[in-house]
Structure 1
Amino acid sequence: MLSIIDKYILKRYLATFGAMLFMFIPIGIVIDVSEKVNKMIENKVPILDIAIYYYHFTIYFANSLFPIFLFLSIIWFTSKLANNTEIIAILSSGISFTRFLRPYIIGASLISVFVLIMGFYVVPASSEGFNNFRYTYLKGGGQEQMRGDNTDVYRQINDNEFLYVNSFNAQSKVAFNFALEKFDKENLVSKVTASRIKWNPQDSTYTMYDYTKRTVGVLGDKIEKMPEKKTKFSFDLEDLTPVIYIAETLSLDKLYQFIDKERKRGSSNINIYLVVLYKKYSVPVSAFILTIIAVSVSYKKRRGGMGMNLTIGIAIAFGYVFFDKIFGTLAEKSTFSPLLAVWFPNVIFGILAIFLLRNAKR
């Protein structure tokens, strides 16, 4: 059962975090509007699309800066408790510092579960809407940028088939210098080539031009040629060059399936997708770490008052974000382990949390 003190602190914990979100999200929207209003007017963006964009922006923005909002909100209300000598009264009554932390840990647990569920199912949809709007209306050549590198694409479709195209046009759904090779273990069974191949969305077929199929036989190869051939394949041509932020737009189960498929295809972007996956689990854990650090930093009544606590808190919060961004980028752009990169900030700040907690207990 929660005591009166537990309920009091937990209520302040959740209320301050909510107030921090509702205070900074409108500021974020105003800043975003001021930066992009000229582009929106220039591109004649429909009002409905703008409204939908800012709905997605709100969720995307809150999720991205969740650790900072949580950290600062805890420092804010804990510093107020300390300045009002409420914490001194609580600890003087015989309650240990560990027991004093209990409502904070309960609050962190509630927020972690909420963030975890949002990250699995809600944030991906908002990420898709947010990024689609940016690349469609706000970036010059955005439709091409969102496809990333679409030249010399080589993919493994399944255990036996390998696909290659020299270049791919995302708008016309046409690939050039197409080749599809089928193997039986290490032996080539057949090879299909075409100067270009076009996706037909009406009936989910492909039209190949300058079609050639070579079937390898024991006594001799069989060659089949046609100027044009329409057929079906087991792959989606658009899968050759997925949008650069596609992993952010997938729910948890679809993300696992997508990563498994991209691994088999030998995707060069696999580290980017793994960083997105691991962050879905690491971000909620940060709620506990940052909660302990925030309480340990702000539970004392300092000479500089709340301003000193907030200064220390902001420095630590931005240090956490700095490590998170640096190691995330390192994993995406190099061979550095994505798992280690994503969890490294939590490990470092977890050690800091243990150190501060031990000092606070003394």
Structure 2
Amino acid sequence: MLTIIDKYILKRYLATFSVMLLLFAPIGIIIDISEKINKMLANQVPFLKIAIYYYHFTIYFMNNLFPIFLFISVIWFTSKLANDTEIIAILSSGISFTRFMRPYIIGASIVSIIVLLMGFWVIPVSSEGYNNFRYTYLRNDGKQLMQGDNTDVYRQINDHDFIYVNSFNNDSKMAYNFSLERFKKEKLEYKITASRIQWNPKEKNYTLFDYTKRTVGPQNDVIEKAPEKKMKFSFDLQDLAPVVYIAETLSLGDLNAFIDKEKKRGSSNISVYLVVLYKKYSVPVSAFILTIIAVSVSSMKRRGGMGMNLAIGIAVAFSFVFFDKIFGVLAEKSSIPPLVAVWLPNIVFGILAVYLLRNAKR
């Protein structure tokens, strides 16, 4: 049962956080427009596409920086409570500091659930819209960069089939020097090769040029050739060269299925995909950690007033985001396990939160 004090603090928690988001979102948009307006004009981007981009940009921007906004907002209104001696009055009434923290934990729970659900379904859609626009209109050779490494692609597409292409063009839906090998009980059953392979969107199949199929027999091999042949395969174009940010654009169920498929294929980008998956869970948990740190730091009056608390808060918040980004990159580029790298900032700052909370209780 929430008391009047609980409702008062919870209302301030959620209201201040919401106002902080609404204040910083337009600032982020204005800064982004000032940096990219020249490229948008040069590429003659339609206004509707720009409007849709900034809708996705706002969600993407707020999701990435929400720990900073949350931390600053909690520091702000808690410092105001401390300066107005409201916290002293609450604690003097016999309420323990742990009990005083309850509305903060409830607020953090609400924020965490919203962030978690958005990370599962809303953020992937906005990430796709944001990155598609950025690579298409705002970066030189963006389409090539978006596709990632599309040369010498070798993939296992299921338990039996392996494909290889020398190069792949996503615009023309054409791959060159294609080969498919089918194995049965670790023995080659047949091999298909083609100088080119073209995807046919209407017919949902592929056209193979200079087609050759060699079926391995017990004594003699059977060779089949044709200048052109249409076939259906169990792989799609995304299997040849998935876009570099593919994991960010998938909902939770699709991401789990995609990671399982890539593990079977021995993909070299598994660490990148796992970082995206684990962050869907680690980022919401950070709301609790940062809330505890913020209350512990700002619940006492300090010389310098709110300014000192805000300075400490901004420093801690940016440190958290910095370590979160650094360890995310290390997980993608080094041998550090993605699970450890993603959760390490939460563990370190969680220990800091416990230490500061114990001091604040005293």
**TM-score where L is the length of structure 1:** 0.99
| Contact 1:293–1:357 (Cα < 8 Å) also in 2 | yes
Distance apart, 1:227 and its partner CA: 1.3
What's the counterpart of residue 54 of structure 2? 54
Distance apart, 1:263 and its partner CA: 1.1
| Contact 1:198–1:208 (Cα < 8 Å) also in 2 | yes
Deviations 1:86-126 (A, max 9, x none): 00111111111100000000000001001101110111101
Aligned-residue Cα RMSD (Å) equals: 0.7
Q: Does 1:220 align with 2:223?
A: no
What's the counterpart of residue 146 of structure 2? 146
What's the counterpart of residue 78 of structure 2? 78
What's the counterpart of residue 7 of structure 1? 7
Deviations 1:140-188 (A, max 9, x none): 1111100111111111110011111111111111111111001112111
- Report matched runs for 1:149-164 at 5 Å: 149-164=149-164
- Report matched runs for 1:1-362 at 5 Å: 1-362=1-362
Deviations 1:305-340 (A, max 9, x none): 101001111111111011101100011112211111
Distance 1:333 1:202 in 2: 39
SS in 2 for 1:8: helix
Q: Kindly provide the amino acid, as one letter, of the partner of residue 354 in structure 1.
A: V
Q: Kindly provide the amino acid, as one letter, of the partner of residue 233 in structure 1.
A: F
Distance 2:236 2:248 in 1: 20
Distance 1:298 1:328 in 2: 29
Distance 1:185 1:81 in 2: 71
Deviations 1:21-72 (A, max 9, x none): 0000000000001011111111111010011011111111110101000000
What residue ranges of structure 2 are gaps of 5+ in the alignment? Answer: none
Distance 1:68 1:223 in 2: 64
Distance 1:109 1:321 in 2: 20
**TM-score where L is the length of structure 2:** 0.99
What residue ranges of structure 1 are gaps of 5+ in the alignment? Answer: none
Q: Kindly provide the amino acid, as one letter, of the partner of residue 165 in structure 1.
A: V
SS in 2 for 1:146: helix
| Contact 1:112–1:284 (Cα < 8 Å) also in 2 | yes
Distance 2:138 2:322 in 1: 26
Distance 1:83 1:243 in 2: 51
Distance apart, 1:353 and its partner CA: 0.4
Distance apart, 1:231 and its partner CA: 0.9
Give the aligned length: 362
Q: Please identify runs of 4+ aligned residues in structure 1 that moved more than 4 A.
A: none
Distance 2:4 2:33 in 1: 44
Distance 2:123 2:43 in 1: 27
| Contact 1:75–1:313 (Cα < 8 Å) also in 2 | yes
Distance apart, 1:225 and its partner CA: 1.1
Deviations 1:258-316 (A, max 9, x none): 11111111111111111000000000000000000000000000011101001111111
Q: Percent identity?
A: 75
| Contact 1:320–1:349 (Cα < 8 Å) also in 2 | yes
| Contact 1:150–1:168 (Cα < 8 Å) also in 2 | yes
Distance apart, 1:206 and its partner CA: 0.6
Distance 1:353 1:84 in 2: 24
| Contact 1:170–1:238 (Cα < 8 Å) also in 2 | no
| Contact 1:148–1:241 (Cα < 8 Å) also in 2 | yes
SS in 2 for 1:65: helix
Q: Kindly provide the amino acid, as one letter, of the partner of residue 230 in structure 1.
A: K
SS in 1 for 2:147: coil
Distance 1:213 1:340 in 2: 46
Distance 1:271 1:53 in 2: 28
SS in 1 for 2:159: coil
